[in-house]
Amino acid sequence: DIVLTQSPDSLAVSLGERATINCKSSQSVLHSSNSQNYLAWYQQKAGQPPKLLISWASIQESGVPDRFSGSGSGTDFTLTISSLQAEDVAVYYCQQYYSSPYTFGQGTKLEIK
């Protein structure tokens, strides 16, 4: 199974500042046939289901604010929130869909400093 390890486990950032969350995969999720990274990012607010933010490592879902961006390739990925807003308080998960079983990172809890 592919293991995803996120860092840090928790993060406190001031409003308006940048938040960066990392996700490292135990093996590459870059598919050679199409050069796509099979990596997604989700946001989960308290008491709610996860919400898809980013797919294919860097493709923003419709309706997601522009301050959310994804980057990386192969085994190392980053979710960046460029200017933290109060409504961004949540747990963020990376997920690989390169191979079954699809696996998630342990989550990063983002709070306001």
Find the part of the chain contacting another protein (CB under 8 A) among 18-26, 38-46, 65-73, 79-87: 38-46
Binding mask 53-92 for another protein (x = CB under 8 A): --xx----x-------------------------------
Sequence-distant (6+) residues with CB within 8 A of 63 are none
Cβ atoms of 22 and 34 closer than 8 Å: no
Q: Does 38 bind another protein (CB under 8 A)?
A: yes
Using the rule CB under 8 A, which residue among 11, 67, 78, 104 binds another protein? 104
* Residue 17, C-beta contacts closer than 8 angstroms, at least 6 positions apart: 83, 84, 113
